[in-house]
Structure 1
Amino acid sequence: MNTIIYLFLFSLYVWGAVLSYEDEIKEIFPREKMREISEKGTEEIKKWVVKKKRTVPDRELFKSSVILKNLSLVRKEAPMSADYIYEKLTENSGYLKPMYSQMLALYRSGRDKEAFKLPAKIIGTKAAGNFALILSKLDKLNPAELVEQMNIFQSSMIEKQVTYAVKRTQKNSVIITALSALSVFALLINFVVVVVFMDSLKMLSSIFV
């Protein structure tokens, strides 16, 4: 949310600067160059939107791993079938419920391989691929082994989130620095304009006095 606010404020600064110095900008940046900058900016925004959309499924996958881990701990003396696990994932999931429901249907119709490919196909993240690999071994894993697999999966996701948080903090710092620099630049420009305007007034006064 903070990143969105910073980007919004930065956009306002840039838009104000463009409106104030439109003619000067046109001289410095030809129309083709401005179009190129605009296209790059649009592409970056699209990448950011796609990344945000992938964050929700990954968070749901982590929740699914917690469900599997808890099931394994509760039923540690009784191995669970893949059918039973898919049922529980379908019952306890939100965003990914349609995917698990489809996986369960494919599994029951004997199309195991198609079912295991769904997470990577629908979500398209590395975490989804790793989770699908674990799901493909459900009938071969005992509860203790499944708990171990879930621990490894959760650790990898936590590490990824920590790395992402660090990068996000660094990006926020860059944005804040850029906004501060732009503010100083705007103040300097305004100061120069006022000085030039005052000098012009003095010159006109000396001419007409």
Structure 2
Amino acid sequence: MGCGMRQDIVLHDYWRSSSAYRVRIGLNLIGLPYRRVAVDLVAGAQRGADHLAANPQGLVPVLEIDGLRLTQSLAILEYLDETRLAGFLPADAAGRARVRALAHAIAMETQPVCNLRVARHAVALGGEATMEGWMRHFIALGLEGFEGLLGQGPEGQFCHGDRPGLADLCLVPQVYNAWRWHVDLSPYPRLSAICERLDRLAAVSEAHPDRVKPLA
């Protein structure tokens, strides 16, 4: 891949988006330089004509790479795995199935329920639901299941073996959200230890929302 193509990589993201966060980590782990285009979800920029032209779903992230506009974070990460030999998925079919199951447990089970537009709608319906109560309940439920899945697999420094992979890229933003909503992580020692190791990697720490958030 030539240097010119590398310079053309553009990530449309929002600093606190879990999906964008995991793609930032992935790009950093591969060492791909990219330019960020901020999409202010709070201000409603995702519903603007320019962004809808890039992603008709009105979501982030969108990755412009290789002349393509890619959407959906897991699809983006698997594309990077296939085209850049990123190693986000194991070589064996059983390992790939396990890593995908871990990644999906967060990206397809926990995160969608904890999406702000979902939580806000649920709270707006009335009743006893509060934003913090909703988030704490579903984040804790998701992490409990993830911790159990980790216990069924081989031991390693990360979610599957000794190299960060697709599941780790999903776990880091979810633990960040747990921290934001004051979820007690002490019942989840395996995933907490993995996150501590991941946080020590420059590629991970440099993708943290606090490192990329807009200046006040």
**TM-score with structure 2 setting the length:** 0.24
Q: Which has the higher strand share?
A: 2
Flag the structure with larger Rg: 1
Q: Which has the higher helix share?
A: 1
**TM-score with structure 1 setting the length:** 0.24
